[in-house]
Structure 1
Amino acid sequence: MQINDLSARIKANEQAITGAIQRVVASGWLVLGPEVKQFESAFAQYLGTEHCISVANGTDAIELALRSFGVGPGDRVATVANASMYTATAAQAIGAQPFFLDVDPDTRNITLIEVERAIAAGVRFVVATHLYGLAAPEILQIAQRCADSGVKLLEDCAQAHGARVDGRMVGTFGDAASFSFYPTKNLGALGDGGAVTTRHADIAERIRRLRQYGWTDKYKVEFAGARNTRLDEMQAAVLSAFLPGLDAGNERRREIAARYNAGIRHPQIQLPVAAGPEYVGHLYVLRSAQRDSLRQHLRAEGIASDIHYPIPDHRQPVFGDLYADVHLPNTERLATEILTLPCYPEMTDAQVDQVVASVNSWRP
């Protein structure tokens, strides 16, 4: 059993995909055309925000959002260290330095107390990642604290499309939000894609310039730090076809997670927080002190698993000894214990039950 079966998603949506592609081919417009505009408008409306600016991928979305905030060389950007370097990579591309935060061991998400620590240290930019499809529980308080301190807040929603906190979509709490439309995401394209959303017209305008060379007019460059990063018409059309089914897909992911939580009964496994509108089941990640033994057992049972993510950002080789003195105990422990089980909308109940039975039969 695969960790995610994209062929099943494509087959289930074959007619809609074919129609979207044929529409683009017939139009002859392949870049920054009507399909991009339509998707940007529809996605902004879905979230309940004013602006959506699509780009080529989720990491570009983070980088351009940070640039729109005024992040520059030498600035520090606060971010969690358990989300596989995406924010850290974007910050490095600007010449900024990550300021790493620890996470809550149960939600695996950013906490208000760690944001307070960053602000006290003089950090002026914070990225709050909603990890594994679970909205950061304290996002409202974090947003208020940042606003009160004059600190810019970016929500990284790459794994949380459609998650809600108190009836409000993630991606609407910060000054801006970044999204990825990588194929495995809850709202995924048939290739790479990303977007920045914001309620601020000035931020939106800067990102529109930054995504296309820094142009203020064709061939007239006025914005530094720009690049060519555009969502193409094909991917925009496919995303428009998939968007109406996002909430139903999220609900199916919740059902699978609930089935796991109800069925898995093992004394050496800790189950995740995986319920409610705050959770959209992008990944189902459990914990075990003997994670590697469990993974080997599942492999022998024909069930794929994964580790999201095995190396904390502050321990990545690219940094050398730069963060040798930084210790994030929750993050570091989680990296040795977490394991991701298959969880995607096209899974059948029988497949879910097979995973449950295999996990319960594990004898470390």
Structure 2
Amino acid sequence: MPFIDLKAQYAALKSSVDARIQRVLDHGQYIMGPEVRELEDKLAAHVGVRHCITVSSGTEALLIALMALGLKPGDEVITTPFTFAATAEVIVLLGGVPVFVDILPDTCNIDPHLVEAAITPRTRAIMPVSLYGQVCDMDEINAIAARHGNIPVIEDAAQSFGASYKGRKSCGLSTFGATSFFPSKPLGCYGDGGALFTDDDVLAQAAREIRVHGQSQRYTHTRVGVGGRMDTLQCAVVLAKLERFDWEIARRIEIGARYQALLADLPVQRLAQRPDRDCVWAQFTLQLDQRAAVQAALAAAGIPTAIHYPKPLHQQPAYAAWGCGQSFAHAERAAMRVMSLPMSPDLSVDQQDEVLTALSTALAALNTAPAAE
């Protein structure tokens, strides 16, 4: 069983994907071809913002957002330690200081009540992560930012593109929204890709210039930039995938809800879902004890699993200096207990039942095993 079934997705979209790619091969504009602008227009309309700027990866989206905001060495950015390294990586690359605050134990998203206490005169941005496909508490975070001089907020929405929050879309809820089109994401390409979203005309223009080495026009470099363009071919792939994206999001929500219902009687901790938002389940993640033993049993039954993420950033060697010996109890506990199950829009009922049967059997065996002497 595949952990994420990209082959089934391609089979369903083969004619559209192939035609889109062939069109690029025919016109030969592999860098900043017409598909780039077409995709940006469609994604901006989907999110409900004025500007979408496609970039070369989700990491680059975060980096360019911070550069557009003028992050300088020593500036602080408040974020979560329970995320992929890219969230903190971009802060450190620019000489900034990641300031970690703990997560909520039931959703694994950043705790907004801890954000305010972490603000100092050096705080330049707040970067919450919408983990596993559920938007974090953006209204509370935006209100905190507004009370403290309108601190910019960047939603790291690498896992939540397509999700809704109080009737609005992820990526359209703050100063910047940043997402990834890595192949395993809810909307993925066939390589690396990403996008930035904003309603701010000035920030949008800055981001567009930064992604092409800071050029305001050809060979006129008005600011320091990066090589951050999204390839035309990758934009073509995403355009083809948009044809059934709404269906895929509905399927993710449906499959996630079925997982949640079937897990209700098992000795696992399900992620909480807030009633005012949905979850697009970039990963279907639960928490449980004896994770290694359960993973081994599932692997023996042919069921793949993954851990998102096994070690919080303040415990990673590259970022330990910014943890300053602090303990983030909820992030640390989650890192020891999270486990992700197979999840994709094409996951069948039979496959899902197979996963749940194997999980139930593994948990029952552990609960009945004799205690070690």
TM-score, normalised on structure 1?
Answer: 0.96
Q: Does 1:149 align with 2:154?
A: no
8 A Cα contact 1:84 1:311, kept in partner: no
Structure 2 match to 1:269: 268
CA contact (8 A) 1:76 1:125 kept: yes
Letter in 2 for 1:190: Y
Q: How does 1:222-261 map to 2 (within 5 A)?
A: 222-224=222-224, 226-261=225-260
Measured in 2, the distance between the counterparts of 1:322 and 1:22 equals: 47
Check whether the contact 2:177–2:196 (CA below 8 A) recurs between aligned residues. Answer: yes
Amino acid at match of 2:21: I
5+ residue gaps, structure 1, are none
Structure-1 separation of matches of 2:344 and 2:323: 36
Please name the residue that 1:67 is paired with. Answer: 67
Q: Aligned-pair distance for 1:342?
A: 0.5
Note if 1:29 corresponds to 2:42.
Answer: no
CA separation of 1:81/1:234 partners in 2, compared to 1, >3 Å: closer, same or farther? same
Number of aligned residue pairs: 362
The answer on whether the counterparts of 1:127 and 1:154 sit within 8 Å (CA) in structure 2 is yes
CA distance in 1, matches of 2:321, 2:174: 32
User: 1:354 maps to which residue?
Assistant: 354
- AA at the equivalent of 2:215: W
Alpha-carbon separation, structure 2, partners of 1:274 and 1:289: 21
Deviations 1:106-156 (A, max 9, x none): 0111122121122257523100110000111x2112112212322110011
Q: Which residue of 2 aligns with 1:281?
A: 281
Matched-pair contact (CA < 8 Å) for 2:74–2:122: no
1:194 and 2:181 matched: no
Partner of 2:83: 83
**CA 1:345/1:43 → structure 2, altered by over 3 Å: closer, same or farther?**
same
- Residue in 1 that maps onto 2:208: 208
Distance 2:143 2:286 in 1: 31
Deviation, 1:320, is 4.5
SS in 2 for 1:273: coil
Question: Which structure 2 residue ranges, 5 or more long, are not aligned?
Answer: 367-373
Q: 1:344 to 1:37 in 2, by over 3 A?
A: same
Instruction: Indicate the SS of the match to 1:262.
Output: helix
Correspondence for 2:55: 55
Q: Which moved more, 1:70-79 or 1:298-307?
A: 70-79
- Per the alignment, do residues 14 and 268 of structure 1 end up closer, same or farther by CA in structure 2, a change over 3 Å counting? same
Q: Which residue type is aligned with residue 142 of structure 1? A: I
Contact 1:258 1:274 in 2 (8 A): no
8 Å CA contact retained: 1:165, 1:278? yes
- Contact 1:133-1:282 at 8 Å conserved across structures: yes
Q: Deviations over 1:165-223 (max 9, x none)?
A: 11011111210111100011110001110111100000000011100111122112120
Q: Where do residues 91-106 of structure 1 align in structure 2 (5 Å cutoff)?
A: 91-106=91-106
Structure 2 match to 1:140? 139
Report 1:31-46 matches (<5 A). Answer: 31-46=31-46
